[in-house]
Structure 1
C-alpha cells in the first residue's frame, strides 16, 4: 500500500485544500497528515502569541475533522525549520511514506526549508507542491515584455483578466476513507499563552460566517471606509482567518460573486 503524507502549514482547513485533495485522490492510498510547530522560528519571525493561540485552536478543529474521515493528523513540536526537516525525513522513513503533499509558502526561510527537505527526500519520497494560498501563482501576472508591473492600475487590469481565465472553483472536503480514527489532541505550544477571545472562534464554519458578514456588511463600503477605525475592526475580523488559511482565497473570491 502506498502512503501519502500531507504537511499542513498555513492551510488549516479540509475544504478547498489542494495538497490534501491531491493526497486523497488515490482511494487505495493510506493518508496521513502532520503539522509541525516551530516556536523558536516563530520567535525569530515575531509571531504574535494570539496568532499562535489561534493556530492551535484551529489545529484542534482540523484534527477532529480529519479523524472523522479516517485520516490521522499528527502534531509535532520542534524548535525551528532545520529541526522540522530532520523530523519529517525520519517520520517518512518510519511510516514508509511514498509521497509528500504540501501547499507552497513563499517567504524566503520557508522556501529554503522546503528546498532542503525535497533534497533530503530525493530518491525516497516523491514531493508534490501546490500554489494554494494565492489566487494566481507569484510572478504569473506580467507585462507584454515579460516584466513585473510597476504601476498598480495596469497590474490590476491584467490580474483581473488572468483571474477570469483561471479556474478558481473550490474543491470539496475529502470523502471519508473508512472508519473514523482516534487522535492525540495537539498539546499547547511552547509559546506565551494568551486567550484567543470570543471574537475569534475557531473552525471553518465560523470563518465562513465571518466572511459572509464581511461581504454582506463591509465590502461595498471598503473603498471609502477602510481608513476608519470602525471599518478596520471588521476587516481585522477576517484577516486572521486568511493568515493561517482557515478558508482559501478561492472560497473568499467566490463568496462575493454569489
Structure 2
C-alpha cells in the first residue's frame, strides 16, 4: 500500500503519529522507499484567520529547513499553494493521484472549519478509492476526557486533574526513530511565499533547532518557571509557543523531557516543572473546548448571556491601546513589545487584555483579532480562551467583579521598572518609586512626551461592574 503524509499544524518528523504510520506502512518491505508528503499553503485562509506576517515568515523559513531535514530520511515534501481550504479536497486528491497513493495520514485539528475541511477531503478521497487516516498528534491527551456524567469539562482545575490521570494511565509513547536513507533526496526550489512576511529571523527554525531549544529550556530554566514566570523583565519563560502553534515541536516531546525529571510522571515533578506542565494542560484544555463547542469558532462567548454586554464603540481609544499610548506604563510597554517583536510576555498579555475590556469596555473580540494579526505564536484556541478568560465571558471565567488594577499589577510584576524602561524610552529616567504612575514626575520634569492616563481606573472599574452586573 502506497501511503503519504499531509502536514498541517504538525511540521515535525518525530513524535508525529501521522509520519510514523506512513513510514511504517511504506518501509515494511523497503527501508529506502520514498514517502511523499504534502503541505498546502492557503494565503486567503491565513488572511481569514488573521495570521500575522511574522508568523507567516516563521512558517516559510521553517518549511524551507524542514523539507531538507525530511529529505535526509526519504520523505519528499510537496508544497502546494491554494487560495483557501475549499481547494483542499482537489489538491489532496491530485497529490494522491500524482504519486499513486491509496492512503494519506494526517493529524486531526479541532476548530470547526478545520473539521469541515477534513470531512470534505475524506469524502473526495473515499469517492476516488483512497482514504484519509486521522491521528491525534497535536495533543498529549485526545479530546475524549469527560466528566463522570459524560459531559465536557468546563472548568480547568477538574480538567487538569482528569487530564493528568489519563496521561498517567496511557503513559508517554516511546520515541520512534528512523535511519537516514543512503542517498538524500534532491529537492526542487521552494515556491515563493504567497503571503505577507515580516522578519522573524530572531527565532530559530528547523526541527532539530527547535528540539534543542526545548531541551535547553528543560535543563536550564524549567526549575525556576514557577518563581519567575510573572516577571517580564527576567524574560525566562520558554518562548517555545510559536513552535507549539506550527507543530515544529510536539507535546509528547515535551512530556518525555519532563518524564526524565520524575519517575512518577505526570506526578512528582518539582514546582517549576509541574507549573510548566500545567501550562501545557491549559493549551490542551482550549483545544478540547474548540472540538466540543462549535460556537467558539464563530466569535461567540462561552457564557452566552454575555454576548449582550454593551461594549463601547471607541475607535480612538482602541487605537491608543494598540499604539501603547494609554498612559498606563505596564500596558503600553506590553503593546509596544508586541508591535516590535510580534510577541508579548504572557503575564503582560493578561494585563493588557484586562485593561482593554474592563477599563475601556471595548469588545474582547477586537483585542483577540489584534493579537492574532500581530503575534508570532497566534493560536486560535489559546488566544480565544485567554481573551474570554480576561473578559469574564469564557469557561473558567474570572469572576466579573475581579478587575485588574494596572498600576498595582505593574508594581507587582515589574517592581524596579526594568521592563517598562526597556519599551518606553520616555520613562527611562523616571525614578522607580514613580515609574508605575509617572504623571507627577512628568509634570515636575516638564516632560510631555508620555501621555496622561486615558481613564481613571476607579471610575472605569465601577462603570464596567455596573454594566456587567446588569446582565
TM-score (norm 1): 0.90
Gaps of 5+ in 1: none
SS in 2 for 1:7: strand
1:31-42 paired onto structure 2 within 5 Å: 31-42=35-46
Instruction: State the Cα distance separating 1:170 from its structure 2 match.
Output: 4.3
Match of 1:84 among 83, 88, 93: 88
Post-superposition, which runs of at least 4 consecutive aligned residues in structure 1 deviate over 6 A?
A: none
Q: Are residues 1:137 and 2:136 paired?
A: no
Deviations 1:39-87 (A, max 9, x none): 1100100011111111111112221122122221111111100112211
Does the 8 Å CA contact 1:15/1:171 hold for their aligned counterparts? yes
Q: Deviations over 1:131-170 (max 9, x none)?
A: 00101111x2222111222333222222111110113234
Which entry has the higher C-alpha Rg, 1 or 2?
2
In 2: Cα distance, 1:109 partner to 1:170 partner: 32
- Distance 1:40-1:100 versus aligned 2 partners, 3 A rule: same
Q: Contact 1:14/1:173 (CA < 8 Å) preserved in 2?
A: no
Q: Which residue of 1 aligns with 2:112?
A: 108
> Where does residue 132 of structure 2 map in the other structure?
127
Measure, in 1, the Cα distance between the counterparts of 2:41 and 2:19.
Answer: 19
Partner Cα separation in structure 2 for residue 181 and residue 216 of structure 1 = 35
Q: Which whole-Å deviations, capped at 9, do the CAs of 1:80-132 have from their partners, x for residues lacking one?
A: 00112211112222322111111111121111100000011114112211000
Q: What SS class does the counterpart of residue 134 from structure 2 fall into?
A: strand
Give the 3-state SS of the residue equivalent to 1:230 in structure 2. Answer: coil
8 A contact 2:38–2:78 mirrored in 1 = yes
Task: Give the C-alpha shift of residue 234 in structure 1.
Answer: 4.0
Tell whether the 8 Å contact from 2:5 to 2:38 is kept in structure 1 after alignment: yes
CA change 1:94–1:212 in 2 (3 A) is closer
Most deviating of 158-167 and 181-190: 181-190
| Residues in 1 aligned to 2:189 and 2:146: alpha-carbon distance in whole angstroms | 45
5 Å matches for 1:127-206?
127-138=132-143, 140-176=144-180, 179-198=183-202, 200-206=203-209
Which of the two has greater helix per residue?
2
Q: Distance in 2 between matches of 1:107 and 1:170?
A: 28
Q: 1:25 is paired with a residue of what secondary structure?
A: helix
* Distance (Å, rounded) in 2 between the aligned partners of 1:153 and 1:8: 32
Determine the C-alpha separation between the residues in 2 that align with 1:226 and 1:71: 39
Which sits farther off after the overlay, 108-117 or 92-101?
92-101
After superposition, the CA RMSD in angstroms is: 2.0
- Secondary structure (helix, strand or coil) at the match of 2:77 reads strand
1:211 aligns with 2:184: no
Please identify which structure carries the higher strand content: 1
- Cα distance, 1:14 vs structure 2: 1.1
List alignment gaps of at least 5 residues for structure 2.
261-471
Separation in 1, partners of 2:124, 2:19 = 22
Moved more, 147-156 or 213-222: 213-222
Q: Which residue of 2 aligns with 1:23?
A: 22
* 2:69 aligned residue (59, 65, 72): 65
Following TM superposition, by how much is the alpha carbon of 1:248 offset from its aligned partner in structure 2, in angstroms?
0.7
The corresponding residue for 1:11 is 10
Match of 2:241 among 227, 236, 239: 239
Secondary structure of the structure 1 residue equivalent to 2:79: strand
Structure showing greater relative contact order (alpha-carbon pairs closer than 8 Å, 6 or more residues apart)? 1
